[in-house]
Structure 1
Amino acid sequence: MVFNASRLLGKTVLVTGSSAGIGRATAILFAKAGSNVILLARRAEALEEVKQACIDVHQASKLSHGGQFAAIPFDVSDRVAINGIFDKIPANLRDIDILVNNAGYVVGREHVGDLDESVVEGMFATNVLGLISLTNLFVKGNPDFKSRGKGHIINLGSVAGREPYAGGSIYTATKHAVNAFTASMMRELINTPIRVTEVQPGMVETEFSLVRFKGDAAAAKAVYAGIEPLTGEDIAEEIVWAASRPPHVNIAETLIFPVNQASATVFYRAPS
């Protein structure tokens, strides 16, 4: 990865959904670049493992900056918890420079007519409402990006936010919402130095598909049969690269596919 690491030295980054997949890889890569990292996710034990990985990679980098890490069990769908988030963050890490809204999930492939409304509500609460609430607080909360005249918001979108597909009505709706919110926010913050980025992955092999298929490992694996998918580390590189641009440069949107994918539904599988 090519980036100017000096721009990330000593920066403080908050990453939601950082217990696994893209969030985990992103947190570790920021730690390697000399940043301080606040880890947020629901699974406390997994968070502690990621925190230790951040410590290890930072020590191995032998950088004099960064090296401060906090693991905070947290559910971004909990609006009350979001309003009190700064009370949970250690005082020495509250001067946050970069917010990475990574938390999100999908469950099921049901079509309209067979949807479980509790699942629908849960996906919107995490993928959309939690992201909006947390971002709103960081843009103008206490402390906030506006008053400090700095900040970078990086939202994890998806190709699903550009192209609907059958069996994904709710997930694509949530990611379309993220895309619209991010684009509108960038326009609303045009008179500030706050940067706004949306990273839109295609096929990435993480726990994501396992959750979608409700723990069916065979079904989750079949999604990537005959394809070399992206990894969480691939997307982490794009996130950290976007964050490492000069302050006057904003990577507004980036769409990332594995080489054999061309859209949400167009891809090539090599013969088995």
Structure 2
Amino acid sequence: MMLVIDVTKGMQTQSAECLVIGQIACQKMIVVLNKIDLLPESKRQAAIEKMTKKMQKTLENTKFHECPIVSVSAKPGGPEAPETVVPVGVSELIEVLKAEAYLPKRDPSGPFLMAIDHCFSIKGQGTVMTGTILSGSVSVGDNVEIPALKLCDDYSVIGRSLFKKETNIQIFVGLKVKLSTGEEGLIEGGFGQSGKFKIRIPDGVKPETKALLTTISKKKPKAGKGDTPKEDESNRVDSVQPVHITLLFKRYVFDSQKKMIQS
């Protein structure tokens, strides 16, 4: 795996997402610090060394903590630069790739396990999944089980409507929130551009809160054309009070690392 990082920006949300996928599907990684031509020549080496240390710090608790870090400029001057411009550092990157490359091994006799990389629809074909087979094998006609992702457990809940969909929730990660049912938790992260986010409850979700959330999530049955919806109390969940999430600030500042600070 090659994790390409803009040397002027460092790790971004999409970079972290790629890193998570890499830890599942890959055994080796090379970090490529790209666009070094955008750095002032007098400060270039110092900036590269600084970003290299940042990446090493970021990766120190992952399986890639000792991976090579190579600085390059794939297209000095950008897309408008003439074709005669020579890339910087690419030949060194190729040598590192040669040194790190290996033939992966897996046990075809083990249980079939595939990490899903993409899921999309093709007209006339239906839903298509592509991924990386980590172990085992599969043949035409075999049944494959697709487990569901459990997003809510005894120590976490999924929140919504606190942020706009375009908000970068990453800058709020780690901040304290309080549920109207009394639990206190920390924002762990978001789910793309959905506006939803995960809250970790260190002391656990109360049984009554979990029951309330389960009741709220139930959908009322749709009435057919000309039918009159039944007034059965078991189907009436609209009267249940929602669980509100509160994010409080006595004051807040926007620091140089683009993180919200709560006091």
TM-score, normalised to structure 1, is 0.27
Would you tell me which structure has more strand in proportion to its own residues?
2
- Which one has more relative contact order, counting CA pairs under 8 Å at least 6 apart? 1
Which of the pair has more CA radius of gyration? 2
